[in-house]
Amino acid sequence: MAWGFKRGSAPLSADQIENVLGRSLRVSGDLKAEGAFRIDGTVEGSVESAGAVIIGEGGAVHGNVTGRDVVVAGQVHGNITASGHLDIVASGRVEGDIDARSFRIETGGVFRGQSCMGDKPAADVSHLSSVK
C-alpha cells in the first residue's frame, strides 16, 4: 500500500496538495511550484515541485517530473527525479529514466528505462538519457 493508497481511492502524501489539475484539464507547457501537485489531467511539458508530485490514475505527463516524493498511478513519458521516494502503483506506467533515493514498483506497475537509486546528489543525471 502506497501512502494509504487503496484501490478506488486517491494516494495520500504528507504534503498538503496545493495544486490540482483535474481530469478535463490539458496543459501545454512546463509547471513549477513550491507546493505539491496532484495531476489527473494531461500535461505536455515538465512538472517540478519542491514537494510531492502525484500522478492520478487518469493523469498523464509527457515530459520530465521532478519532486521530493513522486507517486505514479497514471502515465509518465519522460524522466523522473525524486529526491525522496518514488512509488509506481499497480496502474502506473513510466517510460523514461528514474533517479531517486528509493523506489518501489507494485505488481502490475510498468517501468521501462534505466534507474539510479541511492543517497547521492541528483545533480548529474546526464548519463540517464534514454528519453529526451
The owner of cell 502506497 is 2
Strand partners, 80: 65, 98
pLDDT band at 4 (very low <50, low <70, confident <90, very high): very low
Global confidence as pTM: 0.80
DSSP one-letter code for 8: T
pLDDT (tens digit per residue) in 23-77: 999 999 999 999 999 999 999 999 999 999 999 999 999 999 999 999 999 999 9
DSSP one-letter code for 18: E
3-state secondary structure of 118: coil
Residue of 79, 63, 83, 69 whose CA lies nearest to 111 = 79
